[in-house]
Structure 1
Amino acid sequence: MIPATLAQSLILSFVVMAVMLPFRILSFPDLTSEGSYPLGGCVCAMTLVAGAPPLVALLAAAAAGFLAGCLTAFIHLRFRIHTLLAGILITTMLYSINLRIMGKANTPLFQETKIFGWLADVGLTDSWVKIVLVGAMILLLALALNLWFLTEHGTAMRAVGANAEMAEAQGINVWGVTIGGVGLAGACAAFGGGLMAQSQSFADVNMGLGVLINALAALMIGEGLIGRKTIQRQIAAVVVGAVVYYQLISVCLAVGLPPGDLKIATGVFVLIMLAAPSLGLKRAGAQPKECFKE
């Protein structure tokens, strides 16, 4: 089960990255990923059906997700609508848009050429082909983001997330940075949706159901294990959390846990990760107090 879940977790890493960027970097809690993910799958599927190369289909999916993210940020900034509500509105509308794009609820891709076919002749199994290819993609994204946040524009984005008013006083275009950052998050989620559509050889308008919860759980687990004191740790927590989350799920299935109870297991994992630092601080704070009394 490890190779199969590892491949799936690496694809989920793109969605976890899409959740992390607005939430941690821009202080912009966003739910658009649950709509951008199936949007990317639907756009990728129809682009493949039209005869486009697999990489072009993925880029088209990312472009569609970028527009969805930009629209969410624009609605929030222009109409002063809360970020969560703006994301819910866009996600709701994207369901109908996805139906319009495909013309039906799902589209099979068994006959179309997928990006994983590039490594089909090197002697690797299907799961390991996906692991190598998607792993290389998420590694490139992580390195690119790490370099980006070290630049002036990347620092400006972090400044907007830290204090938007102070950033604006320093001459930073808050609107442009916010719209671009949330759009980048939407592109990551849609790219992951396109990869999943090519991986499972079909796209469905409901493929994003629950993916946001899984991504949030993976992010919390990764941050609990790696931390987020530096930008490098924050980015690494995305991949580590996604991998650990799906391996925990595979372990639960391997020991016989009913699939219907996986959400309970997910909640327990996240609760442990969230509660551990607090409990540790309490214990650390209690010891000096006892020594002081003595």
Structure 2
Amino acid sequence: MNEVISTFIALIPVTLAQSLILSFVVLAIMIPFRILSFPDLTSEGAYPLGGAVCAIAMVSGVPAYLAIPLAVAAGFVAGCATALIHLRFKIHTLLAGILVTTMLYSVNLRILGKPNVPLFKETKLFDYLDLGKGMNNLEKILIVGLLMGVVGFGLRLWFMTERGIAMRAVGDNPDMAEAQGNNVDRAIFLGVGAAGGCAALSGSLMVQSQAFVDVNMGIGLLINALAALMIGETILGRRKISQQLLAPFVGSLIYYQLISFCLAAGLAPSDLKIATGIFVLVMLGAPILKGKRNTTRLAKESIRE
């Protein structure tokens, strides 16, 4: 047991940096799903798209801090494409996201020119904060943590504006929001586009963190992000917009530490999908089971009375 704990502690800096980067993907799932009631799968394609655009830009001589906005813009366009397919062709949101993600695989291959591209010689964003030898993970944690705070605070301010409140109203009741004069299509475009941008931001940070990009880097990411979101919402709740915005970050931190503990305990990497599925089932089923227990308890108390 001591060996498991020591291994887990040694992995904390690595998994903490990784969880902060991937928390933007969790945020990308939350925005359309919870804010707009728009279940979307575009993030699985926008994530490697952001990585591909960032990598090619850096290889072409673009500084890392400028390559990231290019990646975010590409992800925003991918999200808008999903919204356009849904709104104009009346295709279900999930199918629209699947179509865009499928097409993005070919787009990413075209951008990269080959399945993977190394970035070992390029100057990454994390290289600008040089804390010394052996402090790479701390550099990543500080920079990504700062970005996380900026993005979270910016979204918090946005959702308190008139247009942000209108976007939330569209998610609650689109017919009522339209009757009140809100532009439903614009809200969906902005929301789903912003989600694609967040996923692409995560991809651009991840390729700089691992110093290479792979066209398959987004496969299977959605189930991990969904598990993290469920964990965060179960812990924090989602009645307030601040809770809803914090849930992806808190859930991502906890989820990847759980995965790290499973690896430290000797669980094979091939079994992590089973562990992830169990996490999701527990998070989804816990509120239902809790409600049933409360109902049973109230029924017994009423019978006694």
Give the corresponding residue for 2:249: 239
For 1:7-46, what aligned pairs fall within 5 Å after superposition? 7-46=17-56
User: Scaled by the length of structure 1, what TM-score is found?
Assistant: 0.98
Q: CA deviation at 1:121?
A: 3.8
Q: CA deviation at 1:157?
A: 0.4
Give the corresponding residue for 1:94: 104
Question: Quick check: 30-39 or 263-272, which moved more?
Answer: 263-272
**Alignment match of 2:161 (pick from 151, 168, 193):** 151
Q: CA deviation at 1:123?
A: 6.5
Secondary structure at the counterpart of residue 110 of structure 1:
coil
**Alignment match of 1:278 (pick from 276, 288, 292):** 288
Return the letter of the residue paired with 2:267: L
Q: Post-superposition, which runs of at least 4 consecutive aligned residues in structure 1 deviate over 6 A? A: none
Give the corresponding residue for 2:81: 71
- Partner deviation per Cα, 1:197-253 (whole Å, 9 max, x = no partner): 100001111011111111111101111111111111111111010000100000001
Give the corresponding residue for 2:149: 139
Aligned-pair identity in percent equals 62
Q: CA deviation at 1:32?
A: 0.3
Aligned residues: 294
Give the corresponding residue for 2:67: 57
The alignment yields a C-alpha RMSD, in angstroms, of 1.0
For 1:206-285, what aligned pairs fall within 5 Å after superposition? 206-285=216-295
1:189 and 2:199 aligned: yes
Q: CA deviation at 1:20?
A: 0.3
Which residues of structure 1 form unaligned runs of 5+?
none
Secondary structure at the counterpart of residue 117 of structure 2:
strand
CA distance in 2, matches of 1:33, 1:270: 18
Secondary structure at the counterpart of residue 40 of structure 2:
coil
Give the corresponding residue for 1:293: 303
The answer to whether the 8 A contact 2:47-2:203 is kept is: yes
Which residues of structure 2 form unaligned runs of 5+?
1-10
- Partner deviation per Cα, 1:38-74 (whole Å, 9 max, x = no partner): 0000000000011111111000000000000001001
Return the letter of the residue paired with 1:125: M
CA distance in 2, matches of 1:283, 1:212: 31
- Partner deviation per Cα, 1:118-164 (whole Å, 9 max, x = no partner): 11246761111111110111111111111111111110000000011
Secondary structure at the counterpart of residue 70 of structure 1:
helix
Question: Quick check: 206-215 or 284-293, which moved more?
Answer: 284-293
